[in-house]
């Protein structure tokens, strides 16, 4: 059974370079928000946030992705000032405790990105793909940081009313618009080897529209960049398991099993990085799926 060949890249961050391809990297999610879909409010307290961050690193996270604004469907935007008040103190605390930790700032605000990178973050993870703040592209180019460009269709407040996509429309749309986003990044002066692409599962793709994207994730390699897959606790997975709409109160084993299945598929399609809430089970998933990819490469 053939699986994707995962190309190797050297991802240039602010102060270091990460090899991508020899093994799947894990990006652990740290939401310092009151309203994120599955963990809103759990890590608003700085002590709770630090404890969770350190636990994720101990469990094997290669990167911590720190965010201060929820982008769940119909979420309420926050100001950059409020976002910074949530993320900057915990960023400094994490780096004081673990100076070598690699931290990504999950933001679409250029001002927040600047403050976070100057405080020691290495990566800007922009769910809008540089679209929602006109200053973001130039800011990332100036900061010489790593950049994750996500494909997003509309804004969270619009997702419930977006017109449906036919299954054969999803992948061409993502390829076309991510191509536009990478061209915009390069034009702004962002280094090619600083860019990782995220196809944006759940971001403007409604429920079953996400499965064609996962089934054909390997085609996104045609754009020529490393891939990040953010499938953890996504509603379209849980909707397939539950008899009622997915909610934050579903059994934790259901969260893990659904995410594990999707993460395995993503790795076998050539994803370089998994963005996850549950680091320990993700590390176990990576151990097996990476061995399968290695065996596939050995056989060819």
Tens-digit pLDDT profile for residues 77-100:
889 999 999 999 999 999 999 999
Q: What is the pLDDT of residue 70?
A: 80
244 as an active site residue: the answer is no
Both tokens of 84, joined, read 């910074």
Report all structural domains of the chain as residue ranges with CATH numbers, in order of start: 9-299 (3.20.20.20)
Q: What is the pLDDT of residue 245?
A: 45
114 as an active site residue: the answer is no
Give the span between the Cα atoms of 223 and 220, in whole angstroms.
6
Q: What is the pTM of this model?
A: 0.93
Q: What is the pLDDT of residue 159?
A: 84
Q: What percent of the chain has pLDDT over 70?
A: 91
Question: Residues with Cβ < 8 Å from 252, sequence gap 6 or more?
Answer: none
What average pLDDT does the structure give for the chain?
91
How does residue 170 score in pLDDT terms, banded at 50, 70 and 90?
very high
Catalytic residue among 114, 275, 283, 291: 275
Q: How far is CA 105 from CA 6, 53, 71, 112, 271, in A?
A: 26, 13, 14, 8, 20
**231 close to 255: Cβ distance less than 8 angstroms:** no
Both tokens of 111, joined, read 């001002």
Q: Is the pLDDT of residue 36 over 50?
A: no
Tens-digit pLDDT profile for residues 119-163:
999 999 999 999 999 999 999 999 999 999 999 998 888 888 899
State the maximum Cα–Cα separation within the chain, in Å, rounded to a whole number.
Answer: 53
Tens-digit pLDDT profile for residues 7-33:
999 999 999 999 999 999 999 999 997
Q: What is the pLDDT of residue 249?
A: 47
Catalytic residue among 12, 234, 239, 291: 234
């Amino acid at each position: 059974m053939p699986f994707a060949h995962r190309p190797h890249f050297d991802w240039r961050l602010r102060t270091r370079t990460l090899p991508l391809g020899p093994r799947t990297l894990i990006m652990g999610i740290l939401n310092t928000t009151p309203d994120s879909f599955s963990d809103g409010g759990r890590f608003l307290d700085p002590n709770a946030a630090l404890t969770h961050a350190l636990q994720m690193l101990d469990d094997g996270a290669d990167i911590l992705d720190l965010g201060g604004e929820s982008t769940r469907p119909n979420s309420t935007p926050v100001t950059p000032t409020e976002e910074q008040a949530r993320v900057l103190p915990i960023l400094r605390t994490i780096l004081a405790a673990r100076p070598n930790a690699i931290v990504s700032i999950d933001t679409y605000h250029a001002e927040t990105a600047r403050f976070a990178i100057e405080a020691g973050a290495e990566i800007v993870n922009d769910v809008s793909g540089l679209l929602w703040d006109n200053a973001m592209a130039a800011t990332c180019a100036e900061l010489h940081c790593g950049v994750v460009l996500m494909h997003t269709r509309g804004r969270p407040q619009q997702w419930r009313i977006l017109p449906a996509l036919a299954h054969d429309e999803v992948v061409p749309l993502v390829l076309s618009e991510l191509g536009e986003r990478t061209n915009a990044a390069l034009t702004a002066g962002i280094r090619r080897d600083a860019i990782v692409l995220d196809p944006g599962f759940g971001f403007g793709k409604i429920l079953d529209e996400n499965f064609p994207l996962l089934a054909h994730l390997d085609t996104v390699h045609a754009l020529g960049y490393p891939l990040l897959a953010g499938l953890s606790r996504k509603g379209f997975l849980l909707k397939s398991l539950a008899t009622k709409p997915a909610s934050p109160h579903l059994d934790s084993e259901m969260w893990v099993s659904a995410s594990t299945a999707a993460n395995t598929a993503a790795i076998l399609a050539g994803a370089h990085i998994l963005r996850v809430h549950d680091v320990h089970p993700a590390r176990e998933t990576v151990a097996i799926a990476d061995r399968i990819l290695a065996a596939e490469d050995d056989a060819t």
